[in-house]
Structure 1
Amino acid sequence: MTQRFSHNVDALSASIVRDYLLENSDFFIKHPDLLLSLRIPHTERGTVSLIEHQQQNLRARVSQLEEEITSLLSVASRNEDIYRFYNQLFFDLLEAVSIEQVNRILVDSFKRRFRFAKVRLVLTDAFGQFDQPELNLILRRRLNEQGYYLGRLPAQEQNPLVAQDTGSVALVCIGERTKPVGILAIASNDPGHFSPDMDTTMLDQVKQLMAYKIPKLL
């Protein structure tokens, strides 16, 4: 009975102290000498003073913020590089004077910048049909409403498009999905490089530019 009463008194006292400190946040400002005498358990150093504990937490927070800033700067730098790449690609495509030159620019640019295994531009006839009948079936089955397919394909579908059985692909429909001008097929050896949740903002611009440029060169 005495032990339980003592425990209840200790718990009540701790609660009262806690509430008092919450209501009087300037308590330790008025009594700074207490900060030096307070000790806090530490998993590696036994016990440390409250000030040492706060300094340790502050150093850890500063280190975390430095890592986050470094990560953000790295992402920003990478995004800037990608923006510069697409900006140059757009100008090169606008200046192209033949379909052969367009194809060469696409292949050389994407392979050089991203090290893709295969880049292929395939055009349709006047009726929006490909010379390879299997391509018409694959694209009707795979392209989404926005005219994209991003991800992995079975070898029997991927091989006719990019002459590759493994990895992942990006299929970009040029023009209307129901009557395409062509298809841009990009293959990566990495099975996870292209995925359905990828952002297509920059590819959208390539898609629109190609839909404008290609008919003028035919």
Structure 2
Amino acid sequence: MSDEQAVPGPTEIERVVVNWLREHPEFFIRHPDLVESLRVPHPCEPAVSLLEYQNRLLRERGQRLHGKLLELVAIARDNDRLAERVQRLALDLLDAPNELDGLLYRIKAVLRDEFNADCVALCLEAALVAGSGAEEFLRPEALALFEGLLQVGKSRCGRLRPEQATALFGDCAPQVASAALVPLGDGRWRGLLALGSWDEQRFHPGAGTLFLGRAGELVGRALGARLLADRWRTRSDPSSAHEG
């Protein structure tokens, strides 16, 4: 028989390891990386230890916060793009033609391009536009369908009723799946700006209207100044003055 020392079996090795860990409980404090690779069974499953439960909650919370951060970053980027569009709209309005009809056509074109709208409608009161060469924008029947919105004076997004879509967009109405409505006016005149899209999510009811409102303010100021200036020139025309 050999004088070599017999190699201990698995059971003996485990006993030695267990005894050693009992005598050195700080071992995993010095080697925390080993804890991650340990597989500790829970004989009372599905119950888990309090520490593991807390770790799971913190991990899930971190994932939710990360998702929220990504969402906020996406919103910030969208807002930056919208702010740039509003700025370009302001610059285009400054360069718009002096004639009322030229200004109205420019507004429609700019809004269609900058806000990616499939169709744009601009409706004004007849009394202000009559005789200006912009009769296309005389839409009293459309304004009458949005009396409540005009009184509130706040922009909104969503779906239109069939008669509303037809009054605003004519032959394109059946394709309009969502729309943004922007009231115009300052108490001395009224109007309505409408942006239509084939995509029902483009102007869904939950969409923000902050930048639409700002765009409406710019358009309203530009139109108001032009409309009131034309009215003043009409009243001041010497040919219309009373001859004494």
Unaligned runs of 5+ in 1: 1-25, 42-58
Match of 1:161? 168
Aligned partners of 1:120 and 1:186 also within 8 Å = yes
> Which residue does 1:100 correspond to in 2?
101
What secondary structure does 1:187 align onto? strand
**Aligned-pair CA distance for 1:115:** 3.0
CA distance in 2, matches of 1:112, 1:127: 27
- 1:1-218 alignment runs, 5 A limit: 28-29=28-29, 35=35, 38-40=38-40, 72-98=72-98, 99-126=100-127, 131-143=138-150, 145-163=152-170, 164-165=173-174, 166-176=176-186, 180-218=189-227
Is the CA contact 1:124–1:181 (under 8 Å) kept in the aligned structure 2?
Answer: yes
Assess, with a 3 A threshold, how the Cα gap between structure 1 residues 138 and 149 changes in structure 2: closer, same or farther: farther
CA positional deviation for 1:182: 1.7
Count, aligned residues: 180
- Amino acid in the other structure paired with 2:143: N
Higher fraction of strand: 1
The answer to whether the Cα contact below 8 Å between 1:175 and 1:207 also exists between their aligned partners in 2 is no
Say whether the 8 Å CA contact 1:103–1:120 is kept in structure 2.
Answer: no
Q: Distance in 1 between matches of 2:36 and 2:138?
A: 83
Consecutive unaligned residues of structure 2, counting only runs of 5 or more, are 1-25, 42-58, 131-136, 228-244
The code of the aligned residue for 2:106 comes to I
1:120 Cα deviation from its structure 2 partner: 1.9
Q: 1:86-123 CA deviation, whole Å, 9 max, x = no partner?
A: 11111211332333343333322332234312112222
Using the aligned pairs only, state the percent identity: 29
Quote how far apart the aligned CAs of 1:82 are.
Answer: 1.8
CA 170–35 in structure 1, closer or farther in 2 if over 3 Å, else same: closer
Larger radius of gyration: 2
Shift of 1:40: 3.7
1:71 to 1:126, Cα distance in 2 relative to 1, 3 A = same
Cα pair distance change 1:39/1:109, threshold 3 Å: same
RMSD of the TM alignment (CA)? 4.2
> Please, what TM-score do these two structures have when normalized by structure 1?
0.62
Separation in 2, partners of 1:36, 1:197:
45
**Per-residue CA shift, 1:17-36, capped at 9, x if unaligned?**
xxxxxxxxx89426769738
1:174-216 CA distances to partner (integer Å, 9 max, x unpaired)?
Answer: 114x764321111111223223433221122222222222132
The answer as to whether partners of 2:92 and 2:110 remain within 8 angstroms in 1 is: no
TM-score, normalised with respect to structure 2:
0.56
